[in-house]
């Protein structure tokens, strides 16, 4: 907008001067005069915006926030240097515990507000939910990964698509997926058994890389439940090491795991280019990180588009042969569900291909990564705290003794397991941040917020807040859920799946998958602490461990 405003003012100034003084400039000099006026005013506006506005004129200049800002990049460099995507937010929350919102500066000293109080979370996520939209910068950054699915849609369009998708993610429908979760859990157990056998051959305990193993597991689950296809990533675990990405490209055997490893585990330069693209175009730069990212995202779109076309062909064939109702009854994956709902007379009739593809892209990415990370942090917690692990195993074994053929209803009723999962989600939030932009002038917990203001909603801020959860907020204690205070009982104190109308639509799916897999793992294996250090992917939108190895041994019957 600054560019257009300066251009218009420059032309107006030149015309006014010309009208008052007469045509004093040769015709060929008119363009130079306008360009000169434009450049002077544009640079002046930019100087004001970048170096003066946030310091002297912004309505947010008195709000609490970090002071160790770079003169141009604000906190952007500190975010890159942080140990995790949420580290700085948690630090600021502890420094300003009573502030409704916290202000920080980012690239070019743009201001961002961070929800800090429970009321601010409620105002943004519930009270004024549809007065906020995804920021334009977020869209520029994420469009290749998320497409135009339900996560990206706004207002009535979001309501319409969420209502259409709600059926497939309802609790009764998710229960129908229980056999899929159980089958993949057994495959996972076989992989861990193999890792233990390999360890014995080498005279040591079994060792697994949690990120690799659990991401491949949940991707295989997503393959069946979202695409109706066996992806078979688990079969590649424990294979001989090598340059698998290069090998996959050379042999034309690129996989979903290869693609998501490129997207979620980019090199440092790749991450910088990814986040910088929100402010200035960086994807055109001819560097390897961009080429790999472009290949991965293009491959995902191509393969998912092909699957959509194939499934439409199958549905049309079933419809013409009178077998469509049988097909609907037997199908249980999201791809088939949307195809069936979009047939003539269905609630999704006329769905645009961009939206269909966007839904699949979003559920594929978020649906596998968040569950895998939660299982990884659960196993890590058990390896670090054997008393917690023993209590979980005793509770599960007691259930198995009283009811050998138990199902998810029995699993879901286990109190200590339920508290353990909630506590893991509280400490290790699956998604580290959400981003919103005010679409109108608003008041958020007493703070006036003009239209266009950017908000960061960070689950760790309330979930690790010592004024809510006590000074031991970072300690994993499942028993704390038996004695919740009024603040802790607030839905906005637990933001693992967000809240309000845009709450995670896959919450029931994720909880069912995680609990079923944990029960199988805890019954069969004992997890032991590994001395090897690991890191957390940063920058990033998830608390994704990198290099987290866990030792394990088989529990003999």
Q: 104 forms bridges with which residues in the sheet?
A: 112
Task: Give the dihedral sign, CA 63/109/49/445.
Answer: negative
The answer, yes or no, to whether residue 548 has pLDDT greater than 90, is: yes
pLDDT (tens digit per residue) in 209-251: 999 999 999 999 999 999 999 998 888 886 644 444 444 454 4
pLDDT > 70 in the chain, percent: 89
pLDDT (tens digit per residue) in 473-497: 999 999 999 999 999 999 999 999 9
pLDDT (tens digit per residue) in 485-528: 999 999 999 999 999 999 999 999 999 999 999 999 999 999 99
Torsion-angle region of 216 (φ positive above 0: left; ψ -120 to 50: alpha; else: beta): alpha
User: What is this structure's pTM?
Assistant: 0.91
20 vs 366, residue with greater confidence: 366
The residue among 370, 310, 348 whose CA lies nearest residue 149 is 348
Mean pLDDT of 309-324: 81
pLDDT > 90 in the chain, percent: 62
| Structure confidence at residue 331 as a pLDDT band (50, 70, 90) | low
Q: Residue 491 carries which DSSP code?
A: G
pLDDT (tens digit per residue) in 350-360: 888 999 999 99
The answer, yes or no, to whether residue 160 has pLDDT greater than 80, is: yes
CB 439 within 8 A of CB 451: yes
50 vs 475, residue with greater confidence: 475
pLDDT (tens digit per residue) in 267-279: 888 888 888 888 8
Query: What does the pLDDT read at residue 147?
Result: 85
Mean pLDDT of 304-316: 90
Cβ neighbors of 526 (< 8 A, separation 6 or more) are 389, 552, 553, 554, 555
Mean pLDDT of 258-265: 89
Mean pLDDT of 533-541: 90
8 vs 449, residue with greater confidence: 449
Query: What does the pLDDT read at residue 5?
Result: 53
| Structure confidence at residue 8 as a pLDDT band (50, 70, 90) | low
Query: What does the pLDDT read at residue 19?
Result: 54
Quote the CA–CA distance of 104 and 112 in Å, as a whole number: 5
Domains and CATH numbers, the chain: 1-57 (no CATH), 155-554 (1.10.630.10)
CB 529 within 8 A of CB 383: yes
Query: What does the pLDDT read at residue 330?
Result: 65
How many angstroms separate the first and last alpha carbons of the chain?
69
**φ, ψ at 436 (rounded to 5°):** -135, 155
Give the DSSP letter string of 117-176.
Answer: SHHHHHIIIIITGGGEE--HHHHHHHHHHHTTSTTT--HHHHHHHHHHHHTTTSHHHHHT
| Structure confidence at residue 440 as a pLDDT band (50, 70, 90) | very high
Query: What does the pLDDT read at residue 250?
Result: 41
> How many Cβ atoms are within 10 Å of 552's Cβ, its own excluded?
24
Query: What does the pLDDT read at residue 251?
Result: 42
Query: What does the pLDDT read at residue 248?
Result: 47
Mean pLDDT of 14-31: 55
| Structure confidence at residue 139 as a pLDDT band (50, 70, 90) | confident
The residue among 470, 465, 478 whose CA lies nearest residue 388 is 478
Cβ neighbors of 22 (< 8 A, separation 6 or more) are none
The answer, yes or no, to whether residue 43 has pLDDT greater than 90, is: no
- Of 110-119, 430-439, 478-487, 538-547, the least confident: 538-547
pLDDT (tens digit per residue) in 352-385: 899 999 999 999 988 899 999 999 999 999 999 9
Mean pLDDT of 392-407: 95
Q: Residue 449 carries which DSSP code?
A: E
Quote the CA–CA distance of 93 and 121 in Å, as a whole number: 14
């Amino acid at each position: 907008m600054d560019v257009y405003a300066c251009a218009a003012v420059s032309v107006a100034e030149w015309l006014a001067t010309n009208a008052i003084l007469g045509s004093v400039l040769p015709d060929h000099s008119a363009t130079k005069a306008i360009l000169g006026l434009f450049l002077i005013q544009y640079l002046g506006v930019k100087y004001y915006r970048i170096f003066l506005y946030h310091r002297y004129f912004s309505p947010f200049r008195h709000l609490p926030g970090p002071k160790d800002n770079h003169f141009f990049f604000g906190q952007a460099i500190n975010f890159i240097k942080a140990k995790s995507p949420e580290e700085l937010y948690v630090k600021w929350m502890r420094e300003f515990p009573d502030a409704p919102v916290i202000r920080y500066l980012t690239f070019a000293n743009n201001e961002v507000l961070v929800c800090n109080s429970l009321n601010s979370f409620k105002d943004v996520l519930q009270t004024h939910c549809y007065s906020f939209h995804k920021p334009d910068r977020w869209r520029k950054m994420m469009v290749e990964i998320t497409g135009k699915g339900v996560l990206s849609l706004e207002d009535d369009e979001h309501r319409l698509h969420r209502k259409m998708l709600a059926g497939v993610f309802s609790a009764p429908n998710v229960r129908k997926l229980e056999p899929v979760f159980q089958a993949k859990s057994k495959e996972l157990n076989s992989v861990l058994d193999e890792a233990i056998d390999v360890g014995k051959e080498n005279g040591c305990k079994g060792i697994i890389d949690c990120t690799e193993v659990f991401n491949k597991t949940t991707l295989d689950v997503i393959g069946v439940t979202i695409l109706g296809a066996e992806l078979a990533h688990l079969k590649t675990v424990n294979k001989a090491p090598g340059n698998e990405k290069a090998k996959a490209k050379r042999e034309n055997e690129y996989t979903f795991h290869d693609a998501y490893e490129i997207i979620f585990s980019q090199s440092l330069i790749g991450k910088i280019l990814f986040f910088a693209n929100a402010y200035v175009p960086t994807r055109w730069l001819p560097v390897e990180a961009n080429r790999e990212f472009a290949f991965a995202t293009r491959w995902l779109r191509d393969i998912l588009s092909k699957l959509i076309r194939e499934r439409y062909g199958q549905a049309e064939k079933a419809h013409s042969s009178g077998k469509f109702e049988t097909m609907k009854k037997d199908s249980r994956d999201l791809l088939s569900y949307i195809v069936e709902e979009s047939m003539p007379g269905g609630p999704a009739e006329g769905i645009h291909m961009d939206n269909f593809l966007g839904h699949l892209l979003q559920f594929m990415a978020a649906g596998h990564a968040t569950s895998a990370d939660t299982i990884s942090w659960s196993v890590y917690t058990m390896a670090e705290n054997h008393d917690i692990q023993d209590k979980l195993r005793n509770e599960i074994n007691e259930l198995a003794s009283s009811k050998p053929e138990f199902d998810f209803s029995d699993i879901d009723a286990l109190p200590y397991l339920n508290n353990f999962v909630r506590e893991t989600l509280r400490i290790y939030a699956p998604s580290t941040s959400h981003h919103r932009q005010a679409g109108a002038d608003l008041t958020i917990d007493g703070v006036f917020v003009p239209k266009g203001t950017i908000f960061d909603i960070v689950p760790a801020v309330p979930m690790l807040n010592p004024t809510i959860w006590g000074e031991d907020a970072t300690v994993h204690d499942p028993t704390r859920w038996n004695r919740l205070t009024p603040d802790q009982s607030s839905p906005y104190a637990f933001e693992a799946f967000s809240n309000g109308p845009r709450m995670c639509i896959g919450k029931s799916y994720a909880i069912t998958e995680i609990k079923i897999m944990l029960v199988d793992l805890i019954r069969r294996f004992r997890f032991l602490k590994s001395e090897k250090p690991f890191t957390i992917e940063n920058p990033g939108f998830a608390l994704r461990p990198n290099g987290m190895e866990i030792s394990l041994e088989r529990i003999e019957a």
